[in-house]
Amino acid sequence: MATQSAKKVIVYGGRGALGNAIVQHFKAQGWWVGSVDLHANDEAHGNVAITKHDSLLEQEQEILAGVKNLVGDGQVDAILCVAGGWAGGNIADKDFVKNTDLVLKQSVWSSVIACRLSSAYLKPGGLLTLTGANSATEPTPGAVGYGLAKAAVHQLVKTLGAKGSGLPENSTAVAILPVMLDTPMNRKWMPTADFSTWTSLDYVADLLRQWSEGKTRPNNGSLVALITEKGETKLQYS
C-alpha cells in the first residue's frame, strides 16, 4: 500500500526497458512507484500483474482492482503509460490483421485503461502521459497496424486536452513521440545503426519526472516529439 507522504506514480508498462528505467529513476528520487505490466517489477513498491488478454473490459476490471489494492482510496501524482511494442507489415502481409490486433492491445488498450485509471486515481493537477510515435505523424506503409495504433494514441491525447474530456481538474495529458529509443533489444536488432540519433532511456525518465513535478510541463493535449541528434535530444511540440 502506498504511503501518505511520498509522491506517487503508476508506471503502466513498468517491466519494459523504458518502464524499468522510469521505475528506477522515480524510486531513486524518493517517489512511491507502482508498476502495471504482464510481470512484476521487483524494483517497484507495488505491482499489478495483467493476466486478462482477450477482453478489454476484463483487463480494465483486473487493473482497476489491482491499483485499488495498491493505493486504496488515495490518489497518485502521475500515471505514465509507456506500454507498447512494434510490428511491421503492409496490408498484403499474411499477418497484417494478427499484427494489428497485437499493437492495438499493446498501445491502444493500455492507453485507454491508463485514461480510466486517471479518472479514478489521478490527483487534480496531476500528469498523464501516453506513448505515441513520431513516425505515426506520417504514413507508415511498412508498419500499417503500428501506425494506426499510435495515431489513435495521438488523437486520444488531443481529445484529453479538450474541455469536457473527464480528466481531473487542472491535470495535464501529454504524449511523448519517440523516434527511436536506445534499448538493448533495439541495439540487438539494429547493431549497425547510428546510436547517436537514439534517445536514452535515462533522458526520458528524467524528463517525465520533471513534468510530473510540474517543471517545464507542456500544455494539456500536447504531442511532444523526442528528436535526438549527435547524442543531444530536443523537444518538438504540436
Residues catalogued as catalytic: 146
Q: Say if residues 171 and 218 touch (Cβ distance below 8 Å).
A: no
Provide the CB-side half-sphere exposure for 213 (13 A, CA): 11
Torsion angle of the four alpha carbons 96, 174, 193, 41, in this order, in degrees rounded to the nearest 10: -80
Q: E strands of the chain, at which residues?
A: 8-12, 32-37, 46-49, 76-81, 122-131, 172-178, 222-229, 232-237
φ and ψ at residue 221, rounded to 5 degrees: 90, 10
Select from 114, 93, 78, 103 the least CA-distant residue to 2: 78
Q: How far is CA 132 from CA 106, 155, 226, in A?
A: 11, 10, 11
Torsion angle of the four alpha carbons 95, 101, 105, 111, in this order, in degrees rounded to the nearest 10: 110
Q: Whole-angstrom Cα distance, residue 80 to residue 217? A: 14
Select from 197, 194, 152, 157 the least CA-distant residue to 178: 197
- Residue matched to cell numbers 479514478: 120
